[in-house]
Amino acid sequence: MKRLWKPHYPKHTGPLPERWISERGQARDILAAWDYNKDKAMVERMLLASEKIYGQGSAERIRQHMKDIYRERNACD
């Protein structure tokens, strides 16, 4: 039986929310690795690898997420 009324769902035109969540998780992983090793070259390699996964410009976005997470962590101190 065909529905008489179909609700209207607005089309999502913004950035995908999954990308933000994934990039934030990647930033958390890279920041944890940096806290453990303090190896800047490894962080750069991980950011370059993330460019292949998340696309162009993701390294800058992930770096900004890392800064935000670091500031949130140290805001309570």
pLDDT at residue 71 greater than cutoff 90: yes
pLDDT at 25: 93
For the chain, the structural domain boundaries read 17-75
Torsion angle, CA of 74/71/48/60, rounded to 10 degrees?
-170
Q: How far apart are CA 10 and CA 51, in angstroms?
A: 31
Express each pLDDT in 4-62 by its tens digit: 766 667 666 666 678 888 999 999 999 999 999 999 999 999 999 999 888 899 999 99
Task: Write out the two tokens for 1.
Answer: 């039986």
| pLDDT tier for residue 3 given thresholds of 50, 70 and 90 | low
Q: Where are the alpha helices (DSSP H) in 6-57?
A: 17-37, 40-54
pTM (whole model) above 0.85: no
Burial of 2 (0-12, 13-18, 19+ CB in 10 A): exposed
